[in-house]
Amino acid sequence: MNRWKQWTRHSRYFWRAKTKYQIDSPFVLEFAEEVLEDKRTFYIFDDLELVRQELSTIKEPLRKKDFGAGSSITDTKNTTIAEIAKYNQSQPRVGQMLFRLINWQKPQYMIELGTAFGVTTLYQASASLNGEMLTIEGCEETAAVAQQTFDNLKAENIKILLGQFDEVLSSALENLPRLDYIFIDGNHRKEPTIKYFEMCLPYIHNDSIVVFDDIRWSDGMNEAWEIIKSHSKVTLTLEVFDVGIVFFKKEQKRKEHFDLLPVQMKPFMKLF
């Protein structure tokens, strides 16, 4: 990861991003109000951040298998639970945004690629208690920690599928009645990211949502995101922080993309 390039991409995103005051799409405006601008602290948020804090204190060694692009911060072979909890999980703002997205759109059949210790999994699954979350993790020891976390919180709508994405995603998709939502947060390389997206396409429908984390993590991820945005089946894409959100709504008559930020991060945009 080239930090200068990453900083440049972040800066460009920030300056081109719009707030709800510059949005003319009713659906995107609703997203901004229901997801970006919702300031409520939902019942599960404090509990999950306590779990994150507890995990960050566990010095127990863990041998992490990494099948993707790896981490630039911590050793991806011999590490500790605390190190992974600190550096290799999505940030609270991402988990909380995903909770609000799911709470708004109410998907039922959901997949996550990359469980880590399951904190972000719990954010998503908790927003749709009548839904089903299948989370795929390639590392046995990491999955075991996540399963213990799910058991402790009595999360009954989450199932972990152990295996590499390339080996198990196809069968997971085939066994779902439909694909309402998928969060792709693993591998972080261009070709696999595009591959996973294309594997999902036969199972998507008008209201499906595909979410990618770390879209500016590297040149490859940035290139993959641009290719996905331009796909013929994609009608609407949103970029929020490091997250890319894809919609396939046929009522969207022309392809559109929006870079978005909460009003509090660009308050001066109220003036324009």
pLDDT for the residue 267:
75
CATH topology for 3-53+90-271? Rossmann fold (3.40.50)
Number of Cβ within 10 Å of residue 269's Cβ equals 15
pLDDT for the residue 93:
92
In the structure, what pLDDT confidence band is assigned to residue 72 with cuts at 50, 70 and 90? Answer: very low
Q: At what angle do helices 165-174 and 190-200 cross, to 10 degrees?
A: 10
Which CA distances in Å does 192 have to 67, 78, 138, 141?
A: 11, 25, 14, 23
pLDDT value at 76 more than 70: no
In the structure, what pLDDT confidence band is assigned to residue 75 with cuts at 50, 70 and 90? Answer: very low
pLDDT tens profile 85-118: 877 777 899 999 999 999 999 999 999 999 999 9
H-helix or E-strand containing 229? helix 219-229
**Mean pLDDT score of the chain:** 91
DSSP state of 32: I
| Lowest mean pLDDT, pick from 55-59, 87-91, 232-236 | 87-91
Question: Could you tell me which residues are beta bridge partners of residue 160?
Answer: 135
pLDDT for the residue 69:
53
Spell 150-174 as b/e; 16+ CB within 10 A means b: beebebebbebbebbbeebbeebbe
Query: Does pTM surpass 0.85?
Result: yes
- Number of residues that this document lists for the chain: 272
Residues sharing a CB contact under 8 Å with residue 170, sequence separation 6 or more, in sequence order: 199
> Can you give the residue ranges of every domain in the chain?
3-53+90-271
Question: What integer is the mean pLDDT of 20-38?
Answer: 95
pLDDT tens profile 147-202: 999 999 999 999 999 999 999 999 999 999 999 999 999 888 999 999 999 999 99
pLDDT value at 41 more than 80: yes
pLDDT tens profile 251-267: 998 999 999 999 988 77
